[in-house]
A and B are shown apart, each in its own frame.
Chain A
Amino acid sequence: MSPPAWLGYDWLAPRFIGWMLEGVVQTAWLSLLVCVAASVLGIVLAALQPSRLRWPVNGWLAAHRYTPLLVQLLLWYFGVASLLPEGAMLWLNAPHAFGPLTWPSFEFLAAFIALTLYSSAFIAGEVEAGLRGVPAGQYAAAHALGMRPWQVLRHIVLPQALRLVYRPLLGQYLAVIKNTSLTMAIGVAELSYRSRQVETETLLTFQAFAVATLLYLLLVLGTQLAGVRLQTAQRGYGDA
């Protein structure tokens, strides 16, 4: 009459909650690095759109937008890695220290590269929409003031463009957090990977997934709330 044991009322031991929290740290850290790198790359890609490089850039964007992230991760970790010379792989997998910084695991590195390239393709789209939203007169005026094209972009156009597409960009950052969950397929010890590890050890499937889902909700909704707050606060500051 009692529910099956795996659905039972056993709670996860503190040790396993600890594993999950370590997973959260890994998820947050990977997300943060990817958001920063993908934003930089996304802005560059968007800025290249009006240039002569338009066609290659469009091809690049399509290749990254129109293939699943999971496939890109598998391709980088298992495929591209098999092309690298043995010496390079040895170095990449060995521990190195640069002052206080330590070299990340190859899993983390592959995840970072794949996620950054994938996310930057979408961020480029949002930034481009923002650039189009800035009136053309502004370019002309800045040019007339003797500014160079990249100065116009950096000081005049980009700040306005980013403000215009703040919410869609925030959406892309939230997507990055959720997308890190796929890196469990290549052995990155983030939250989803940790939840399967806890499941392996405890066989408490329901509890392991429930805790992981809850932590994702907190992470994503918390970031969303912080992002919206930040925007309101800045607006208030600008108005004053």
Chain B
Amino acid sequence: MKSKLILALLLAAGANSAFADRIDDIKKDGVLRVAAFDSNPPFGFLDAQTRQINGLDVDVARHIASKLGVKLELVPTNPANRIPLLVSGKADLIAANFTVTPDRAKQVDFSLPYFASGQQFIARKGSLQKPDQLAGLRVGADKGTTQEITLRDKYPATKVVSYDDTPLAFAALRNGNVNAITQDGSKLAALLANAPDKDKFEIAPFTLTREYQAIGLPKGEARLQKLVNDVLLSLEKNGEAQKIYDRWFGPSTKAPLPRDFKIGDKV
């Protein structure tokens, strides 16, 4: 009896999402809700002056919102809450350094990738040089990330301790609770550049994976997906994508990084 009721509810919920065309709802409400990081410069972070969330992902989201002709509303998220926010309908899109994986593709849809990165590590200077040194180390990761999964699968001798966000993992590294922390190299570079005590740490000179980041969308929203892809491709075409990249990773930034991936490149 009870289980039948739950089943009915589940089916009803499924039916709702299958019929809805999110793009119409967004235009009707006049608001695009985007899940963005609030503690991960330069992708999404709380600006010290304006007290608003800003960053590379936010710039991309702004263009999508303006293409839709609606207001942008940012939903602050940590890595672990991204997919729940999207599937529970609290956000229309994820723009939070969101790595494309086959497992995630079963739950959410992806746009074309607009960023590429690889899994790297921060450790005390000189303490981590090669991947085989990871065995036996305690490594801090973020809950709900691909890096957490990769470490558990490929480096079973490494003890993974997961935190709510990368700066908290870094705090644990600083305190000596973990020997290294792991994230996308680009994120780590910016985190380290912003650290007041950066001279004690370094990014270990190896990369475990090549990963691509894209906008996350609810399943089955083909029109929305096409619109997002069109926006991304036009950003690349009119040079805006390069401008956004340079604003956050260009030569004049704290953690310059050469751009080795363009939107539309083969992955």
Query: Which residues of chain B are near A203, meaning CB under 8 Å?
Result: 83, 103-104, 106-107
B251 at interface (Cβ–Cβ under 8 A)?
Answer: no
Closest to A206 in B: B10
State A144–B23 Cα separation when bound (angstroms). 84
**Residues B172 and A201 in contact, CB atoms below 8 Å apart:** no
Which residue of B11, B106, B162 is within 8 Å of A5 (Cβ)? B106
**Residues B145 and A200 in contact, CB atoms below 8 Å apart:** yes
**Given A82-B175, A86-B176; A1-B143 close (CB under 8 Å):** no
**Residues A78 and B14 in contact, CB atoms below 8 Å apart:** no
**Given A81-B175, A81-B177, A196-B80; A187-B15 close (CB under 8 Å):** no
Q: Which residues between 119 and 171 of chain B lie within 8 Å of chain A, taking CB atoms?
A: 138, 140, 143-145, 148-149, 152, 161-164, 168, 171
Expressed in whole angstroms, the minimum distance between the Cβ of A137 and any Cβ of chain B is: 54
**Residues A3 and B13 in contact, CB atoms below 8 Å apart:** yes
**Residues A205 and B87 in contact, CB atoms below 8 Å apart:** yes
**Given A93-B138, A187-B172, A203-B106; A7-B177 close (CB under 8 Å):** no
Query: Which residues of chain B are near A93, meaning CB under 8 Å?
Result: 138, 176-177
**Given A107-B161, A200-B145, A203-B104; A1-B176 close (CB under 8 Å):** no
Expressed in whole angstroms, the minimum distance between the Cβ of B26 and any Cβ of chain A is: 19
Which residue of A4, A82, A187, A197 is within 8 Å of B107 (Cβ)? A4
State A4–B15 Cα separation when bound (angstroms). 9
Which residue of A106, A186, A205 is within 8 Å of B83 (Cβ)? A205
**Residues B15 and A6 in contact, CB atoms below 8 Å apart:** no
Q: Is the interface of A mostly helix, strand, loop or mixed?
A: helix
**Given A196-B143, A200-B144; A3-B138 close (CB under 8 Å):** no
Closest to B146 in A: A200
**Residues A2 and B87 in contact, CB atoms below 8 Å apart:** no
Which residue of A4, A5, A185, A201 is within 8 Å of B164 (Cβ)? A185
Query: Which residues of chain B are near A82, meaning CB under 8 Å?
Result: 171, 174-175
A228 at interface (Cβ–Cβ under 8 A)?
Answer: no
Q: Which residues between 80 and 121 of chain B lie within 8 Å of chain A, taking CB atoms?
A: 80, 83-84, 87, 103-104, 106-107
Closest to B218 in A: A4
- Sorting the interface of chain B by its residue count into under 10, 10 to 19, 20 to 34 or 35 or more gives 35 or more
Query: Which residues of chain A are near B162, meaning CB under 8 Å?
Result: 187, 193, 196-197
Number of A-B contacts (CB under 8 A): 83
**Residues B176 and A200 in contact, CB atoms below 8 Å apart:** no
A22 at interface (Cβ–Cβ under 8 A)?
Answer: no
**Residues A4 and B17 in contact, CB atoms below 8 Å apart:** yes
A90 at interface (Cβ–Cβ under 8 A)?
Answer: yes
Contact with A along B1-28 (1 / 0, CB 8 A): 0000000001101110110000000000
State A205–B103 Cα separation when bound (angstroms). 13
**Given A187-B161, A205-B84; A5-B18 close (CB under 8 Å):** no
A140 at interface (Cβ–Cβ under 8 A)?
Answer: no
Expressed in whole angstroms, the minimum distance between the Cβ of A16 and any Cβ of chain B is: 12
A89 at interface (Cβ–Cβ under 8 A)?
Answer: yes
**Given A93-B138, A196-B80, A200-B145; A6-B177 close (CB under 8 Å):** no
State A37–B258 Cα separation when bound (angstroms). 55
Expressed in whole angstroms, the minimum distance between the Cβ of B8 and any Cβ of chain A is: 11
State A186–B178 Cα separation when bound (angstroms). 12
**Residues B149 and A201 in contact, CB atoms below 8 Å apart:** yes
Q: Which of A185, A201, A203 has the most CB of B within 10 A?
A: A203
Query: Which residues of chain B are near A106, meaning CB under 8 Å?
Result: 177
Contact with B along A181-220 (1 / 0, CB 8 A): 0000111000001001101110101000000000000000
Query: Which residues of chain A are near B87, meaning CB under 8 Å?
Result: 4, 6, 205
B62 at interface (Cβ–Cβ under 8 A)?
Answer: no
**Given A107-B161, A187-B172, A205-B87; A4-B14 close (CB under 8 Å):** yes
Query: Which residues of chain A are near B106, meaning CB under 8 Å?
Result: 5, 203
Q: Which 8 A-B pairs have the closest CB atoms?
A: A3-B14, A89-B176, A81-B175, A187-B161, A200-B144, A203-B107, A3-B10, A6-B107
- What are 29 A-B contacts with C-beta separation under 8 Å? A1-B15, A2-B18, A3-B11, A3-B14, A4-B14, A5-B107, A77-B177, A78-B168, A78-B172, A78-B175, A82-B171, A89-B175, A89-B176, A90-B176, A93-B138, A93-B177, A107-B161, A185-B164, A186-B163, A187-B140, A187-B172, A199-B144, A200-B80, A200-B144, A200-B149, A201-B152, A203-B103, A203-B107, A205-B83
Q: Which residues of B contact A (CB under 8 A)?
A: 10-11, 13-15, 17-18, 80, 83-84, 87, 103-104, 106-107, 138, 140, 143-145, 148-149, 152, 161-164, 168, 171-172, 174-177, 219
